[in-house]
Amino acid sequence: MKKFVSLAVLTALVAGCMDTGNNNNPAGYGYEGFAEEQLSSGTETLNSNAYLMAAAPKYYVGSAYKIEDVQYIPGEDLTYNQTGIAGIVPVELNGSKTSNGETFDSNQLVATSKTLPLPSIVRVTNLDNGESVVVRVNNRGPFVNTRIMDLSAAAAQQIGLNSTAKVQVQVLANESMAVKNATLGETTKATTTAPVEQTTTVTAEPVATAPAGDYSVQVAAVYSEENANSLANELSSYGHAVVVHEADMYKVRIIDLDATNARRVIDALRSDKGMAPGLLKSGKWVNADSI
């Protein structure tokens, strides 16, 4: 049976997706009372999945917020692995802006989350049939407490989801770090004409006489300067650790590395700390395994 959406409901859906400037509520959709979206019986051609790993307009985590007396605390969690109910994003939201500035397209393999960084890459498995799909999380929601995630129509079709189902949602750590680094790299390029950024050196070891290398290893990007300085101090044994302030984020990097030492630092951070560091050469992002 074909589903019709009234003009009033459609208006509310689109309004719920827009960023109104209220800092208490993140841009997103899916407030209590919105209807479930049913998949149409027709088949659609899926777009290329190259966008899954593409840089986003911005990397968005956000601070704690409350919706209808329920508090949500966004954060980076590369070990995220949860089960819950998933639904489907209404196709009427096609063309609306997501919380990190992308444009929602129901034909792409995308999804929503209340707390994961945007964008993140996750694997979603339909526990009813074992089918799974890799999606790009690029919007906040759904704000219906019975659901932990909503999928685009294309992603739902991939796992045989027709309305709602119990799913497992698992963050793909390497892919999520890669798309994060790509996004932050795009942000860096966009601001190359700005004044030279301020940096804070937190290692206690003098490095003035050390030979400068072309490589830098980025360990994290956070909103708290205190947390960034603390992490840089903790990692000072790996090399010249600094905190770089870009826009509203503090990026912890180990700098002045040649290729050999950059490779050593990346391998050590992976094995010792379980981290997924990014790599820059002369200020431009490169594949961390290219050296």
- Residue 201, pLDDT score: 39
| Residue 199 one-letter amino acid | T
CA-only gyration radius of the chain, Å = 21
- Residue 66, pLDDT score: 81
- Residue 159, pLDDT score: 96
- Residue 28, pLDDT score: 55
- Residue 206, pLDDT score: 35
Cβ–Cβ < 8 Å for 76, 115: no
- Residue 168, pLDDT score: 95
The domain ranges of the chain are 7-172, 211-286
- Residue 287, pLDDT score: 82
Do 7-172 and 211-286 agree at the fold level?
no
- Residue 60, pLDDT score: 92
- Residue 109, pLDDT score: 95
> Could you report the average pLDDT of every consecutive run of 10 residues in the chain (291 residues)?
39 37 48 35 43 91 83 88 94 90 93 95 94 95 89 95 94 92 65 37 36 82 80 90 82 92 90 81 84 87
Bridge partners for 285 per DSSP: 280
CATH of domain 211-286: 3.30.70.1070
In CATH, the architecture of 7-172 is Beta Barrel (2.40)
